[in-house]
Amino acid sequence: MDYQTLKLDASGPHLLVVTLNRPKALNALNTQMGRELHELWTRLGAEPGETRCVVLTGSGERAFCAGADLKERDGMAQADWQVQHELFERGFMALMEFPLPVLAAVNGHAFGGGLEIALCCDFIYASSAARFALPEVRLGIMPGGGGTQNLARAAGERRAKELILSGRQFTAAEGVDWGIFNRACESVSVLNDALETARAIAENAPLSVRQAKKSIRYGLQTDLLTGYRFEIEAYNRLVDTDDRREGVRAFNEKRKPVFRGK
């Protein structure tokens, strides 16, 4: 599709780079971007084609995403605000339910909804030069893009309360120490570092990657034994696949496997 606020680039045969592309507005989330993100995750989740992994980043050097576009929201009627937020909600949920791995390459500052977008991804590489916060309580609202849930699951209840209730900023290094980010990278290399990991993921058996992601996500929402039962069900779906047979065959023939997602 021809997106107004997103840029899509293929990086190899199985890797897609999605760029939030409103650099003059620090890639702030407006209604159009919300609409396009929801459409992208919904469509690509249903019909991924050859795509096996996605890297999500921001345009420009300053920001990944500054959060919701407050200029657009200035003077917005309550009904319009709620309609817009419903659109944002659908986009956040579509990203969290997205079946393919999504790596956030947070190239610059990420505040409010921008940080929440990153937290919806499977994991995060963050620029060491950037700053991050969920400052919504300073604006008379609260996180509404999964922030209270995803941050608490990543960093723990007490750290999430500290950051959300104070609204204070933190660094990439702190985010790594607290389990929010996977890696703090130099600002010039954050996208390349994420792409390197994404390529390694995309080389693996795509059905296996998707089943493993699903097992981790849903298993963590239940008790250990039920989660293990879910894992076994996911595992058993892979036994009678061409990729499983190819993987074993390639191992014994001492060559690199050629996975086809079948």
Residues recognised as catalytic: 116, 136
Among residues 32, 13, 14, the alpha carbon closest in space to that of 22 is found at: 32
Tell how strand 131-133 and strand 170-171 pair up. antiparallel
Q: Is 76 helix (H, G, I), strand (E, B) or coil?
A: coil
Asked if 145 contacts 234 with a C-beta cutoff of 8 angstroms, the reply is no
Among residues 45, 53, 41, 43, the alpha carbon closest in space to that of 14 is found at: 53
Q: How far apart (Å, rounded) are the C-alpha atoms in residues 194 and 104?
A: 8
Q: How far apart (Å, rounded) are the C-alpha atoms in residues 53 and 108?
A: 22
Tokens coding 217: 């996500």
Q: Which residues pair with 109 in a beta bridge?
A: 63
In the DSSP assignment, the letter for residue 29 is B
